[in-house]
A = this chain, B = another copy of it.
Amino acid sequence: MTSFEQRIKVSEIFGPTIQGEGVVIGRPTVFVRTGGCDYRCVWCDSLHAVDNDYRQNWKPMHAREILDQVKSLTGNKPIMITLSGGNPAIQPFEELLALGKVEGFTFAMETQGSVCKPWFGDLDVLVLSPKPPSSEMVFDARQLAACVKAGETAGNTVLKFVVFDDLDLEFAQEVAASHPHLPIYLQPGNHTPPPAEDENAQIDLEGINQRMLWLIDKVNQTHWYTATVLPQLHVMLWGNQRGV
């Protein structure tokens, strides 16, 4: 592999802030958001890291460069680094994981489970977030199973589902049933995602809260007590604002 191929396409690096979602909600973290995605969910809230029209903003970076930039943000103190996207699974992260671990950093990644890589097993937290019907993407159960297997040696693997409606919830229940050993996180969708060109787009927080209450009710009505229901905390705190 040439040096060029080993570079990671980075859309943005920001923090320290807190993780707003899922199993590591509230944990201090620096985000490394990569550019490029094999999906194009209709309600994508990170189009600036997905849509090829914005690829001129994605900077190819070496692992060492990325780690140095994170360290400049944390005063050289180790922190949990969140690998996000786009789909970070399409990037070559082996070297960053190896370099970071030596210096005490931990790594959490969220991916839709459409692409799997051997280095999933080196992550501390692997969040697999299969996209539900409302995304208008096609779910591949075999790829998801391969991702679960690739992550067997990760510190912690969980499933996370964005839920907009009843069909999405049914989807989550079906996929969860195929992976009974994995913890489940449910999250209401943001039906007012920001356009890629607008960093501070208006957001319907009241509507998002209503979806959260609906989701809590649904989970309790169906006695799905092993699922955890969490909002996008960063959206509650900062709306659609980027870089926080």
Contact = CB atoms under 8 A, between A and B. Distances in A.
Nearest to A78: B225
B74 A223 contact: yes
A229 B185 contact: no
Contact of A220 (B26, B28, B229, B237): B28
Interface string A71-101: 0001101111000000000000000000000
Interface in A1-54: 15-18, 25-28
Which size class do A's interface residues fall under?
A: 20 to 34
A92 to B, nearest CB: 26
Contacts of A236: 231, 236
Contacts of A216: 17-18
A225 B16 contact: yes
Contact of A237 (B17, B77, B213, B223): B213
A209 B233 CA distance: 11
Contacts of A17: 216, 220
B224 A28 contact: yes
